[in-house]
């Protein structure tokens, strides 16, 4: 139990007042001559049992009445979870608010989301109590700290509004740690408001160990988790997986791959209308959903042939989470998929050219050039999406140009040079050639869930097991290995980069080195994927995931949709919508994981805070009742009851009639 | 003057008010002279009592010749005899009778009751005696009819002081034995005795054919027992003092008192004595008027 006026509790010893008065009374007795001693003696004998208990009860009631009065004045708050706080006030209160899209799940009757409910309850609680000298908010969308003037202000800050982002709770706690350490705060209360989504909490991350250790070193830090772990009983989300604009003559159309996911305990098959809106023209398609939802592949929407770029949206009827009921998309004409192969070996260059020149779809235009190293300066960097570099690692101006090429979102794949290895580039360098002595090398492992060697859409793996490798050139790289030979040497690695992609492949496609060209599926698919990724930035439209830096690449963004609640400049990129910078379009939406992630087990989350002062408060969405209620009324009623009981017990027995 | 002071408990107004009432015995009395009370012995008053057959030795003057003329049998015509009574006032003078409230003790009240009754009895020619019962009789005045005797009784009542333990039970038994003939025994006491002991005394007195009347004096404070702090109760009859908190034992005290009074009622019912429970704040004139009226024979 916590108290708003804890100093009043100093008066608690006053509860002994009735006992003291009783003892004093015992001492200051009066002497009186008395005639009816025979009744007195009988009464004394009788009073040894129940009467003594009655008198003790009277004293107890008086003690309780005073105690209740003191407690009432000290304004106690309900909530057993507050018990561990003690009476000390925090120096600083930090609020870690999960603004992820999943926090917008609502209680349909109350119309309150998890986020708004958490904010209201927390603001009410802090308003009642003492939140210290500083009230600091860290929101998951921006990850930044902001000092808040008062708990009430929490309800109106842009930083507490809904967003389409995902949360990173470990990162928020690290920010909190940095603040607490830097400011040497004393007692700190940390309130985490979250729906415990696995992706937000990253419970398997190794960061938690370090976070827990560092918090354990701080004294007086209390963690409170407002846990909205309950998932909606029924919720649908919609997402556009792929948008393509095709044109034939004067006719154009959009091809959309749409996924509707069903969450909750829907077992019955239901039909749901899906509203498509393109260029302010709406159409509705009714889709039959099963337990998991539904998938619409290649939904065609005819558009005006002159509309080369634009935006649209897909919407669902209202349900538990309004934020995942609409998905924005943008489209533009597919760019020419241009790639450049830099190689001094004509045969090898031709192998690359063949794989890149054949388009995956006849409607796409591919352009592939093979040039020698000494002509690298003539590369059309602006319109090229993929660079194949099969030569010594570049230096000087070319190296700088390649760096810029990657930073602009394009893709480079380095293949081993036949002779001179060159220096170090992208923290990687070529070593010596390795030759298979008896048996050719095989692939022992590759990453099939993502990147160039990912399984195909049907779920089947690429036939990497069929490949044979006779020679490879080992390389040193800090990147992530995507495929590995049976001698553990890497075949393909991806170097970490902020934008774009840099790959190192340790062998060449020709028969002298490997069966990549002969068993061409893997070679073709990987190169086409790299080309598609590299030319993606060449489009006049891009789909982006809501994040603080999702629109950081340009400055002149205008909000196109939704018009009804255009976000402020600082919040752009955090909200789902369509933005335009001259002829360039961007659609910002929540990440896929927001639709699919499950809530982590509360026990798992509890375990993360093991050894720390931590309380989890399970709350329900829509429940805006106070986290802690003032209990003085109860104590006042208790006092009145105690006084009434005392009065009843103290009532004298009925008077004896004097007449016979 | 001193004598006058000793009789100041007599109230002239009460005496005047009660002068129209007479003290009647409920049972036949055997007196020495003619009086206002019925006698068990047939006498020569004008009030016819009964016929009885003549037996040799009867006074022939009392033969009813008319009855003889009608049925040829001898009948003696008998008349009621009126006689005086002996009023024995037994006043409890134990220490507890000194318990006072508003300046008047129980013994003061007993003086008023006893003195007034003695006066009324003497006025109608009855003999009045006084027995003051403390631990033992410390004063005993046998009943007599003379005016000077009344003076002695009243003086004694005025001077007696409460002291010692009660010896009322022994006194009553002794009086039952000592008073030779039927008498009217009026007991004025707070009766702080075991009701069973009281029952024995009353039954003894009744067995001796005495007309017993009791004024049971109680002080209101003894009934209420209202104190707001622990008290040291000093026994007025010399026992050990008791330290007690009335707020704790008040209920038990009242219950004990109630049980006692209930037992006393049972004793009164079974012994059929004339019992009056009197709270000493009551006007003693009213109490005596009620007592006297209750004894007035109802006219047929």
Q: Do B237 and A37 touch (CB under 8 A)?
A: yes
Rounded Cα distance between A317 and A275, Å, is: 8
Whole-number Å distance between alpha carbons of A416 and A391: 7
Task: Give the pLDDT of residue A497.
Answer: 83
Arithmetic mean of pLDDT over chain A? 87
Q: Does B92 touch chain A (CB under 8 A)?
A: no
Beta carbons of A35 and B224 less than 8 Å apart: no
CATH architecture of A84-231+601-628: 3-Layer(aba) Sandwich (3.40)
Dihedral-angle region of residue A598 (phi above 0 means left; psi in -120 to 50 means alpha; beta otherwise):
beta
Tokens 């409607």, residue? A363
The DSSP secondary structure of A87-124, one letter per residue, reads: SPPPSEEEEEE---GGGG-EETTTTEEHHHHHHHHHHH
Contact B129, B142 (CB under 8 A): yes
Write down the domain spans for chain A.
Answer: 2-27+48-78+633-650, 84-231+601-628, 234-333+542-595, 337-536
Confidence (pLDDT) at A84: 46
CA of A66 vs chain B CAs: smallest distance (Å): 21
- Report the C-alpha gap between A650 and A62 in whole angstroms: 11
A37: phi > 0 → left, psi -120 to 50 → alpha, else beta; which? Answer: alpha
B190: which chain A residues are within 8 Å (Cβ-Cβ)?
A: 35-36
Of A439, A450, A437, nearest in space to A492 by CA: A450
Q: If DSSP codes are grouped into helix, strand and coil, which group holds residue A528?
A: helix
**Stretch 39-68 of chain B: residues touching chain A, C-beta under 8 Å:** none
DSSP 3-state assignment of A621?
Answer: coil
- Is residue A433 predicted with pLDDT exceeding 60? yes
> N- to C-terminal Cα distance for chain A?
60
Angle between helices A632-650 and A50-73 (to 10 degrees): 160
What are the sequence ranges of the domains in chain B? Answer: 2-28+84-295, 42-80
Comparing CB atoms, the residue among A31, A35, A653 nearest residue B236 is A35
Task: Indicate which of A21, A29, A34 best probes the interface with B, i.e. most B CBs within 10 Å of its own CB.
Answer: A34
Between CA A372 and CA A358 the distance in angstroms is 21
Name which of B112, B96, B138 is nearest B8 in CA terms. B112
Please state, for a pLDDT cut of 90, what percent of chain A lies above it: 39
Q: Answer yes or no: do A658 and B277 touch at CB < 8 A.
A: yes
| pLDDT of B90 strictly over 90 | yes
Is residue A658 pLDDT above 70, yes or no? no
Within 10 Å of residue A340's Cβ, how many Cβ atoms?
26
Overall average pLDDT of the A441-459 stretch = 90
The residues near B282 (Cβ < 8 Å, ≥ 6 apart) are none
Q: What is the pLDDT of residue A454?
A: 92
Compute the mean pLDDT over every residue in chain B, rounded to the nearest whole number: 84
Residues of chain B with C-beta less than 8 angstroms from the C-beta of A47: 248-249, 252
For B212-246, b where at least 16 C-beta lie within 10 A, e where not — what string?
Answer: bbbbbbbbebbbbbebeebbebebbbeeeebebbb
Q: DSSP readout, A187-241?
A: SEEEEEEE--BHHHH-TT-THHHHHHHHHHHSSSEEEEEEE--PPPSEEEEEEEE
* A chain contacts of residue B222, beta-carbon cutoff 8 Å: 35-36, 39
CATH number of B2-28+84-295: 3.40.50.410
Task: Look up the CATH number of domain A337-536.
Answer: 3.40.50.880
Residue of A nearest to B274 (CA): A660
Q: Indicate the pLDDT class of residue B5, thresholds 50, 70 and 90.
A: very low
Backbone phi and psi for residue A339, each to the nearest 5 degrees, phi listed first: -130, 155
Query: Is the pLDDT at A337 greater than 60, yes or no?
Result: yes
What pLDDT does residue A83 have?
47
Strands (E), chain B: 34-38, 43-53, 75-79, 82-83, 86-92, 100-101, 104-105, 127-133, 137-144, 184-189, 211-218, 231-235, 242-244, 274-279
Which is it for the CA torsion B212, B213, B216, B217, positive or negative? negative
Q: Report the C-alpha gap between B30 and B181 in whole angstroms.
A: 7
Identify all chain B residues contacting A35, using CB atoms and an 8 Å cutoff.
Answer: 95-99, 106, 190, 192, 219, 222, 236-237
pLDDT tens-digit series, residues A271-286:
889 999 998 889 999 9
CA distances from B261 to A234, B1, B172 (A): 80, 42, 20
Convert the pLDDT of each residue in A365-417 to its tens digit: 899 999 999 888 889 998 999 999 999 999 889 999 999 999 988 999 999 99
Query: Rounded to an integer, what distance in angstroms lies between the CA atom of residue A20 and that of residue A24?
Result: 6
Confidence tier at B137 by pLDDT (50, 70, 90)? low
CA distances from A483 to A491, A509, B95 (A): 5, 15, 119
- Which chain A positions have a beta carbon within 8 Å of B234's beta carbon? 31-34
B280 in contact with A, Cβ within 8 Å: no
Render pLDDT for A186-228 as a digit per residue (tens, 0 to 9).
Answer: 788 899 999 999 989 998 888 999 999 999 998 889 899 988 8
Contact list in A for residue B92 (CB cut-off 8 A) is none
Q: Which of these, B151, B159, B252, B264, lies nearest to B216 by C-alpha position?
A: B264
Contacts of A34 in chain B (CB under 8 A): 99, 233-236, 242
Superfamily of domain A234-333+542-595: Immunoglobulins (2.60.40.10)
CA–chain centroid gap for A504, Å, is 32
What chain B residue is nearest to A45 in terms of C-alpha separation? B252
B237 in reach of chain A (CB within 8 A): yes
Q: Is the peptide bond before A562 cis (omega within 30 degrees of 0)?
A: yes
Mean pLDDT of A619-648: 81
How far from the centroid of its chain's Cα atoms is residue B73's Cα? 46
Give how far Cα A642 sits from Cα of A62, A526, A528, B247, Å: 7, 82, 84, 18
Question: Is the pLDDT confidence value at A359 over 80?
Answer: yes
- What is the three-class DSSP state of B238? coil
Same topology for domains A84-231+601-628 and A337-536, yes or no? yes
Contact B22, B124 (CB under 8 A): yes
Does residue B1 have a pLDDT over 60?
no
* Least reliable range by pLDDT among A65-74, A231-240, B39-48, B255-264: B39-48
Task: Give B145's DSSP letter.
Answer: -
Query: Considering only alpha carbons, which residue of chain A is nearest residue B222?
Result: A36
Encode pLDDT of B164-204 as tens digits: 888 889 989 988 888 888 888 999 999 999 999 999 999 99
Whether ipTM > 0.85 holds is: no
174-203 in B: which are within 8 Å (CB) of A?
190, 192
pLDDT at A25: 76
Of all residues in chain B, the one with the smallest CA distance to A30 is B231
**B162 chain-A contacts, CB cut-off 8 A:** none
Distance separating alpha carbons of residues A332 and A585, to the nearest angstrom: 8
Is residue A233's pLDDT more than 50? yes
pLDDT of residue B47: 63
Residue B145 in tokens: 């009819």
Report the residue of chain A nearest B219, measured CA to CA.
A658
Phi/psi for A233 (5° steps) reads -70, -25
Position A657 confidence tier, pLDDT thresholds 50, 70, 90: low
For residues A371 and A398, what is the distance between their CA atoms, to the nearest angstrom? 14
């Amino acid at each position: 139990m916590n108290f708003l006026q804890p100093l009043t509790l100093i008066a608690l010893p006053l509860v002994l007042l009735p006992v003291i008065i009783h003892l004093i009374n015992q001492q200051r007795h009066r002497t009186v001559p008395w005639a009816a001693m025979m009744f007195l003696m009988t009464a004394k004998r009788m009073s040894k049992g129940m009467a003594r208990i009655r008198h003790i009860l009277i004293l107890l009631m008086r003690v309780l009445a005073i105690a209740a009065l003191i407690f009432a004045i000290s304004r106690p708050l309900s909530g057993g979870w507050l018990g561990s706080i003690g009476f000390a006030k925090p120096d600083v209160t930090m609020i870690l608010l999960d603004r992820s899209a999943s926090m917008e799940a609502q209680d349909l009757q109350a119309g309150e989301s998890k986020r708004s409910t958490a904010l209201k309850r927390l603001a009410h609680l802090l308003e009642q109590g003492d939140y210290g000298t500083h009230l600091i908010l860290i929101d998951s969308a921006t990850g930044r700290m902001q000092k808040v003037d008062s708990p009430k202000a929490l309800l109106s800050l842009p930083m507490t509004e809904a967003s389409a982002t995902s949360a990173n709770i470990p990162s928020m706690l690290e920010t909190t740690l940095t603040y607490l350490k830097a400011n040497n705060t004393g007692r700190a209360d940390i309130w985490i408001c979250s729906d415990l989504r696995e992706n937000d909490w990253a419970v398997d991350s190794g960061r938690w160990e370090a976070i827990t250790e560092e918090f354990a070193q701080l004294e007086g830090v209390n963690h409170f988790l407002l846990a909205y772990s309950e998932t909606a009983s029924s919720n649908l989300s919609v997402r556009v997986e792929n948008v393509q604009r095709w044109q034939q003559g004067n006719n154009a159309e959009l091809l959309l791959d749409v996924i509707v996911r069903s969450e909750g305990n829907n077992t019955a098959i239901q039909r749901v209308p899906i509203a498509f809106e393109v260029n302010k023209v709406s159409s509705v398609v009714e889709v039959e959903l099963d337990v998991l939802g539904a998938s619409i592949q290649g939904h065609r929407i005819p558009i005006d042939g002159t509309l080369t770029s634009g935006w649209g949206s897909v919407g669902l009827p209202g349900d538990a989470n309004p934020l995942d009921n609409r998905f924005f998309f943008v489209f533009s004409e597919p760019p020419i998929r241009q790639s450049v192969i830099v190689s001094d070996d004509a045969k090898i260059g031709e192998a690359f050219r063949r794989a890149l020149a054949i388009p995956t779809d006849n409607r796409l235009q591919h352009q592939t050039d093979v040039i020698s190293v000494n002509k690298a300066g003539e590369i059309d960097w602006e319109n090229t999406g993929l660079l194949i570099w099969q030569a010594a690692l570049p230096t000087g101006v070319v190296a700088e140009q390649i760096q810029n090429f990657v930073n602009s979102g394009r893709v480079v794949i380095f293949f081993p040079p036949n002779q001179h290895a060159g220096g170090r580039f992208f923290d990687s360098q070529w070593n010596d050639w390795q030759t298979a002595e008896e048996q050719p090398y095989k692939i022992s492992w590759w990453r099939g869930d993502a990147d160039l060697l990912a399984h195909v859409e049907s779920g089947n793996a690429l036939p990497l097991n069929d490949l044979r490798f006779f020679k490879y050139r080992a390389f040193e790289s800090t990147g992530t290995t995507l495929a590995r030979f049976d001698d553990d040497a890497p075949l393909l690695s991806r170097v970490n980069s902020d934008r774009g992609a840099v790959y190192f492949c340790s062998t060449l496609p020709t028969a002298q080195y490997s069966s990549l060209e002969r068993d061409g599926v893997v070679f073709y698919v990987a190169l086409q994927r790299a080309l598609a990724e590299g030319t993606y930035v060449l489009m006049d439209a891009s789909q982006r995931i809501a994040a603080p830096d999702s629109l950081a690449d340009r400055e002149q963004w205008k909000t196109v949709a939704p018009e009804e609640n255009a976000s402020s400049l600082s919040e752009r990129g955090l909200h789902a919508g369509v933005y335009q910078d001259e002829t360039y379009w961007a659609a910002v939406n929540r990440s896929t994981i927001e639709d699919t992630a499950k809530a982590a087990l509360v026990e798992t989350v509890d375990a993360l805070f093991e050894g720390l002062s931590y309380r989890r408060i399970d709350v329900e969405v829509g429940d805006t009742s106070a986290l802690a209620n003032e209990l003085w009324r109860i104590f006042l009623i208790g006092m009145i009851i105690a006084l009434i009981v005392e009065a009843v017990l103290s009532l004298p027995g009925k008077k004896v009639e004097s007449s016979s | 003057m001193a004598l006058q002071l000793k009789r100041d408990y007599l109230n002239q107004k009460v005496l005047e008010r009660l002068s129209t009432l007479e003290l009647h015995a409920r049972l036949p009395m055997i007196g020495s002279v003619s009086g206002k009370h019925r006698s068990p012995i047939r006498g020569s008053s004008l009030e016819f009592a009964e016929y009885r057959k003549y037996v040799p030795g009867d006074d022939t003057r009392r033969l009813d010749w008319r009855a003889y003329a009608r049925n040829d049998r001898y009948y003696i015509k008998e008349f009621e005899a009126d006689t005086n009574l002996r009023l024995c006032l037994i006043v409890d003078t134990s220490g507890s009778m000194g318990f006072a409230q508003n300046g008047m003790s129980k013994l003061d009240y007993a003086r008023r009751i006893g003195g007034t009754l003695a006066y009324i009895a003497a006025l109608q020619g009855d003999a009045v005696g006084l027995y003051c019962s403390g631990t033992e009789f410390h004063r005993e005045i046998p009943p007599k009819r003379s005016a000077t005797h009344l003076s002695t009784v009243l003086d004694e009542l005025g001077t007696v002081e409460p002291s010692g333990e009660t010896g009322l039970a022994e006194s009553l038994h002794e009086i039952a034995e000592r008073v030779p003939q039927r008498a009217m025994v009026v007991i004025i006491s707070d009766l702080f005795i075991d009701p069973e002991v009281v029952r024995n005394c009353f039954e003894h007195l009744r067995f001796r054919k005495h007309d017993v009347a009791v004024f049971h004096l109680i002080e209101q404070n003894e009934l209420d027992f209202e104190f707001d702090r622990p008290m040291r109760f000093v026994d007025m009859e010399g026992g050990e003092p008791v330290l007690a908190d009335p707020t704790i034992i008040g209920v038990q005290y009242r219950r004990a008192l109630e049980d006692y009074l209930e037992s006393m009622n049972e004793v009164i019912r079974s012994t059929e004595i004339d019992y009056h429970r009197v709270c000493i704040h009551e006007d003693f004139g009213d109490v005596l008027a009620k007592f006297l009226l209750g004894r007035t024979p109802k006219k047929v």
